[in-house]
Amino acid sequence: MFSKFSFWIWGAVVSQLLSAAFHSIGFFVTPQPENDSERQLFNLMDNYKMDLGAGFSRSFADLFLSLSICFTLICTLGAVVNWYMKRQSIPADIWGGLLLIELVVFGILFLVMLKFAFLIPIVCTGAIFSFLVGAYLTNKQARQRINEL
C-alpha cells in the first residue's frame, strides 16, 4: 500500500484540502482579549494603520489576513492541481517535475511553519510535505532519476 503512488498523491490532496479548511476557520472566528494587555494589542493590530507608501495604509490585522488567505489559497491550489493531474493520468515524467516543484514550495512552507507557527499548521504542512515526499519517491520517473545519481 505505501508503495502505491495513488495512496500518496490522494493523501497529499486530502491533507492540502484539510489544511485549507482548518486555516479558513480563522476567517470566521474573532479572538477575544482576556486582559488589558491583549485588549491594547488587539486594538493596535486592528486600528493602527502604517503608511506603506504609494497611498497604501494598512493595519497589521490587514497584513495578517492577506497572508492567511495566501496560505489557504496555496493549499487549495496544490490540492486542485494534484487532483486534476491525477484525474488526467499524466505521464510519470510530468508528475516528477510537478512534485519536485511542490516539494520545494511546501518544504519551504513547512520550514517556515516550524519556525514561526504553532502545532496545528506545523502538523498540517508536515503531513502535506510527507505525502508529497511519498508521492515523489513512488513515482517511477523520479525513482529512475534517484537511481541515476
All residues at 6 or more sequence positions from 102 whose CB lies less than 8 Å from its CB, including other chains: 12, 78, 82, 132
pLDDT of residue 36: 94
pLDDT averaged per 10 residues, the chain (length 149): 83 97 88 91 90 87 90 97 94 90 97 95 97 92 65
Single out the residue of 84, 88, 82, 90 nearest to residue 135, CA to CA. 82
pLDDT recorded at residue 147: 65
**Which tens digits make up the pLDDT trace of 104-126?**
999 999 999 999 999 999 999 99
User: What pLDDT sits at residue 140?
Assistant: 74
Q: Which of 136, 133, 10, 121 is nearest to 70 (CA)?
A: 121
Distances (CA, A) of 37 to 34, 44, 54, 76: 8, 11, 32, 36
**pLDDT at residue 28, rounded to an integer:** 87
Query: For position 146, what pLDDT does the model report?
Result: 62
What pLDDT does residue 124 have? 96
Cα-flanking dihedrals φ and ψ of residue 51, to 5°? Answer: -85, 110
Residue 50 is predicted with a pLDDT of 87
pLDDT computed for residue 76 by the predictor? 98
pLDDT at 142: 63
pTM: 0.86
Q: Write down the pLDDT at residue 98.
A: 95
The closest alpha carbon to 74, from 132, 9, 125, belongs to: 125
